[in-house]
Every structure is written in C-alpha cells, then in structure tokens.
Amino acid sequence: MQLTVNRSEGRANDLVVRLDRDEIETARLSVADRAALMRLPGIPRHRPATSEEEQGLAAAKIGIVDHLRRMGVVAGDGRVARPAIAISNRNLGTNHGHLAWQRGETPAVFHVREDPCDRERYACLTIWRDGRVSIEDLVFDEAAGRIRRASDGRDLSDDVEWATAGQPILRQGRVARIDEIADQFYDVRHVLAFDPRREEGEAARQAIYRDYPRSFRDNVRSAWRDLGVPRARYVHNAVGVSTDGLVIVQREGTIEEIGAALFAAGADDGIILDNGGSVVCWAWWANDYAGGVVSPTVDYRPPGTSAVAFILKGPTRINLPGGSVSYSVY
C-alpha cells in the first residue's frame, strides 16, 4: 500500500492511494439509514427542499466512524478491528444518478426518491463475492431486484456482493470529455461554476434545471456552450482500477484533470463517487493504529450518507523494531 499526500497551503491538498490487488481481502459498503434515505429526495437541485426533507436528511447521516462500525472495521469500543482504507461515498443517498445494489437488502436496488433512474447503464464500483474489485457498466432492474452487465445482458446478481454507481471519467485508459458525461452530474456545480446566491448564477441554475429531467442533458450542454457558464474546478473523490490494483484520488480539478490523475496513478478505468466538503479518507494505521482521517478537505463536513471500506489482508497492527514504522505519508 502506498499513500501520498501533497498539501501546499493555497495550492494543493491532493491524496493518492494505491492498493495492490493481492492486498485487498474484500470491500464493504455502508448506507447510513437505507429506508429513510429511500423515502427522501436527497438534496433536490431542480426544486427547493422542504424543511421536513432537510431535517430528514440531516437525521439520516452518520459520521465516518459510525460507518466503519457498521462495516466491522471499528469495534463497538472504538478500537480498530480490521486493517482498512475507507473513503466517502456521499453522492449515494444525496444525488440523482447514484444507485446501488446490495446483496441481502430489501429492496436490493437503492436510490433516492424522485431519481428518474433513466440511464441505459451505470458505471459502478463492483465488489464480487470472491473478493474481486472492478468497474462495470451495469443495468439496474429495480422491479426484479437484479443487476445485469450492460454489454451482454448477463445477470450478475448471484456473483456480485454490492455495486455503487458514479460518473465514469476514465475508460480503458481514455479520459472522458465533459460533453460525454456532464449531464450525469445532477449537482451540476461539480462541472460548471456558478453561484446561485447571485442573480446571474440563479438564472443559470434555473436554465439548467428547467423541465428536469427531460431537458436536463440539453440544458447542461447549452449552459456551457451557449450561455458561457465557465467550467468548475471542484474537489472530487475518485476510485480507479487496473489489472494490478486499485487507486484512490482525492483532489481539486476539472473532471478531465481527475481522470488524468487516475490514469497517471496507474488506473485504466475510474469513476467519481463524491465531491466537495464530504470528501474524506480514513486509514487504520493513523494515530498509532487508533485510526483516523488522513487528508480531509478544507471544509470537511463529517456526517455522510454512505462510505466504502477496502479491507486489507494481514494483522491490524505491525510493530517493527528500531523505531521503524510500517506505513508512511509523504
């Protein structure tokens, strides 16, 4: 395992984690209050949220350590139980377009209320029952509670433990262009820069979400190409895979920059799972193996709807002689 942090005041706060496939025992997904979140619309972007919706979402969120307890990484007494690297996955339960499938849950397909669920395929971080990790294009069959591979229609439900969707920014080594995936960002501030607190920003927001979801795709492209809404450099939490292992990138940039960073770190395919102030990475060896946050964003907001933990093989604690340490942050 290699974890690198590049932190320069006012310039960079970047994190890269590389995990070899042979290091990963399994991965787990936590959704805070599944039933409550499915009754809520997440954070609606195309209309104002009611006070009841806002209060319900706030009540459903839990901190990263609570997620870790649910996934068996942290014990009830707060001690680290499994060696793991955990990251936020807060678009799930918050934004449209982020679906998940979980074995053993009812219903198996998770999404927030009002999500149109209208995409032909979803790029998903996929955890197989044998422990393999991959990124797959999946079709969610909500009525049957099943998932199928988009390319050939094969039902993968009996072979997959869970899958969670994100925006595909890297495919077979090629970085996605904004015009290919911009409409997959329901919170379009993650790709376009506008401030709805200002008159011109609110006008842009209304134009983008007018006649949602039917016209959303065309509206997003029109805002960028015709209205001149500039590109956004946002903090993103992305995960990528290769034949050799898994890569996590957390940094600020355009979606193309995040895709390029995943590729430079060794990934062939990658998706974005989270953005902004909820982006976080937790490592079990931090604070002398008490566990802790390694590189939070400047405006990190701890409570979240979902998290992912990559559980590693081997002991929880390693004591090396001579004052050596087993893991380093550069």
Is 197 in the same domain as 130? no
For 219-274, write each residue's pLDDT tens digit: 999 998 998 999 999 999 999 999 999 999 999 999 999 999 999 999 999 999 99
What is the residue range of 220's domain?
Answer: 192-230
Is 154 in the same domain as 211? no
| Dihedral (CA of 197, 200, 204, 207) sign | positive
Q: Has residue 328 been placed in a domain? A: no
Residue 298 has pLDDT above 90, yes or no: no
Is 84 in the same domain as 32? yes
Q: Residue 321's pLDDT is what?
A: 53
Q: Has residue 324 been placed in a domain? A: no
Q: Residue 323's pLDDT is what?
A: 43
What integer is the mean pLDDT of 4-12? 79
How far apart (Å, rounded) are the C-alpha atoms in residues 76 and 174? 43
For 63-74, write each residue's pLDDT tens digit: 999 999 999 999
Residue with tokens 């397909």: 109
90-99, 283-292, 297-306: the lowest-pLDDT one: 297-306
Q: For residue 99, which of 21, 209, 186 has the smallest C-alpha distance?
A: 186
Q: Has residue 118 been placed in a domain? A: yes
Is 83 in the same domain as 139? yes
Say what the pTM is. Answer: 0.94
For 159-178, write each residue's pLDDT tens digit: 999 999 999 999 999 999 99
> Quick one: DSSP state of residue 67?
H
What is the residue-averaged pLDDT of the chain?
93
Q: Residue 329's pLDDT is what?
A: 46
Read off the pLDDT band of 320 (50, 70, 90): low
How far apart (Å, rounded) are the C-alpha atoms in residues 159 and 114? 29
Is 73 in the same domain as 216? no
What integer is the mean pLDDT of 120-149? 97
Is 13 in the same domain as 143? yes
Is 261 in the same domain as 296? yes
| DSSP β-ladder status, 292-293 and 281-283 | antiparallel
What integer is the mean pLDDT of 147-167? 98
Is 222 in the same domain as 124? no
Count of domains observed in the chain: 2
